[in-house]
Structure 1
């Protein structure tokens, strides 16, 4: 073998090794290999949270120091719940600042508050802020707030990776200002929602979970756990270029707890309070649906898969949507209004 042939072979080996290293790094192979088994799940705080939650619910000071508090303020407020002793459903809409059309379409559809006789339903939109604080966009939102009085704005920077902040601040608002609802729907602003189907579902679940208890017993309804939506059981993405990449330092286990996709989910009164209080003792995580799944596991709430809720856009047909509670992908405002009207408004 001459010297030139030997160097060519070494060069090929070097290139192959370099390519393998790039593939290894790009796909996060090492992270997958060295991830810890979920059987060893011990997300901080690694303690039993149930006694602490009971202390807070009883009005006592918690015996353990909280580790997670979001230091943000509500820049606007709403008096929607001030005079209500009973509320069937409170709808929390997580909305982007510039989604004026989304919010207007919701006000014309499932956000209407007087559609269902005998049911009290309220809706609020939750937004962050941008930079600078007195931008043209903010001035437009100020006018919207003044006109509709249905927006709660919070002083954190509104972007995708701050969705957990938006979610937990909305939990804080309902905990502090509207803790009387039987159920809470948390939804993104690009979802189709049927409030009728949702209320049918939660009352059916009450009959299934405790058929010895009358469905109209409000105290009992509020005292049972429900955290329902489209449930996933999956593993973290370790790809270096993925929008959803999670390093081993951030989360060292090989799969997530069962979680409900963040597009739309339902919680009962007790679950809202339990998860909100529990979040003070659970380390922050930047993906809101994963974080709520972690909190739910830590506080002992099992997510329930709801077959009427879709994290993707379910293809529309008049009959196919009869039992649909939620479907993603309705950024076209006219489409949302048309589909919702056909499904929810009876012709004269």
Structure 2
């Protein structure tokens, strides 16, 4: 074999190796980025039929009217409330009830909230606040003992017997809805918030007041009827997202085709902070009993809202990302993410109260 032939064979081997490497890279990219899930995803606009694929709205109406329904619930979480609170009842007249979804070890977060927007001293309005927690994997851990002392001191924690973890956020959210439905069903509005949010209760109440002062356009009414919007109407508001499932294999938020086969999410509100009216809370809770569980709580509530015809309403004064602070810039802010630093929350909240009062 001469040198020319050896050279040609060497070139062919290198080319073959390149083809093999390229093929391997393409296969890796195809799998890593979940390309097949994107290619074969169903059309959300045309084919969305998340279980149960029945008329959920009519079922909700029948349940709330005390009627028997033929459809069996598929999504009742088998957990208990380990504590309760006398802060609310089904007959209390509350303007706003604040549900704070908190992690077990976030003692500093809860203390900062108690000193700021959870103080409950809003002139002329009745506002109540409770923290909702899961449990540790060790029932008698030092962490649980510290929480027991906190509960005895403040009496503002509802603890539930599921493991407190990121992927149990939907459980925490819907168990909170259940507690409200069973123990605090008379509040006009409910604010759900994570424990690392800045919240202005005054701005939220002003937003609600402005909404209630708005007349329904082109409404026909009898003399005894009203055309104003209130808690008996649907409100589900916060920072609205419209996006698609994340299919990357390495992503914390990856959703497989088997788990959710559609190419888009329904419009949903980020779980950091959102408000529901009394009617929306009740309808969404009852509907959730007939809507298959999904592990991301904000997506799940978007699905539930979609199933019963509630349109999430975007409010620009809810900030999913942390809004840089200035007194003027925060004049209309209702909620802003990114306040895990307790001293920062206290400083910003106090500075804004002083600024507004001056």
TM (norm. structure 2) is 0.93
Equivalent of 2:148 in 128, 142, 146? 142
Determine if the alignment matches structure 1 residue 196 to structure 2 residue 202: yes
1:291-337 CA-partner distances (Å, limit 9, x unpaired): 00000000110000011000110000000000000000001111101
Determine if the alignment matches structure 1 residue 253 to structure 2 residue 262: yes
1:210-261 CA-partner distances (Å, limit 9, x unpaired): 3779xxx8x9623100000000000000001011000000000000000000
Equivalent of 1:240 in 229, 233, 249? 249
Q: Give the SS at the match of 2:131.
A: strand
Equivalent of 1:166 in 172, 193, 204? 172
Determine if the alignment matches structure 1 residue 221 to structure 2 residue 230: yes
CA distance in 2, matches of 1:84, 1:106: 26
Equivalent of 1:71 in 62, 78, 81? 78
CA distance in 2, matches of 1:343, 1:55: 46
Q: Is the 8 A contact 2:90 2:183 kept in 1?
A: no
Q: Give the SS at the match of 1:208.
A: coil
Give 1:279's aligned residue: 288
CA distance in 1, matches of 2:158, 2:108: 17
Equivalent of 2:128 in 122, 140, 144? 122
How do residues 80-99 of structure 1 correspond to structure 2 at under 5 angstroms?
80-82=87-89, 85-99=92-106
1:189-219 CA-partner distances (Å, limit 9, x unpaired): 0000000000111121223363779xxx8x9
CA distance in 1, matches of 2:57, 2:307: 9
Q: Is the 8 A contact 1:194 1:344 kept in 2?
A: no
Equivalent of 2:109 in 83, 102, 122? 102
CA distance in 2, matches of 1:62, 1:187: 33
CA distance in 1, matches of 2:353, 2:158: 27
Distance 1:210 1:203, change over 3 A: farther
Distance 1:235 1:209, change over 3 A: farther
1:24-71 CA-partner distances (Å, limit 9, x unpaired): 111111111111111211100011111111111112222211111100
Give 1:291's aligned residue: 300
- How many equivalent pairs are there? 343
How do residues 42-61 of structure 1 correspond to structure 2 at under 5 angstroms?
42-61=49-68
Q: Give the SS at the match of 1:266.
A: strand
Give 1:310's aligned residue: 319
CA apart distance, 1:6 = 2.1
Q: Which one has the largest radius of gyration?
A: 2
CA apart distance, 1:94 = 0.1
Q: Is the 8 A contact 2:216 2:229 kept in 1?
A: no
CA apart distance, 1:12 = 1.1
Equivalent of 2:279 in 261, 270, 293? 270
1:264-317 CA-partner distances (Å, limit 9, x unpaired): 000000000000000001000000000000000001100000110001100000
Q: Is the 8 A contact 1:91 1:123 kept in 2?
A: yes
Determine if the alignment matches structure 1 residue 344 to structure 2 residue 350: no
Q: Give the SS at the match of 1:13.
A: helix
CA apart distance, 1:3 = 3.1
CA distance in 1, matches of 2:357, 2:115: 16
CA distance in 2, matches of 1:276, 1:82: 17
TM (norm. structure 1) is 0.95
Which ranges of structure 1 fall in alignment gaps of 5 or more residues? none
Determine if the alignment matches structure 1 residue 37 to structure 2 residue 43: yes
CA apart distance, 1:22 = 0.7
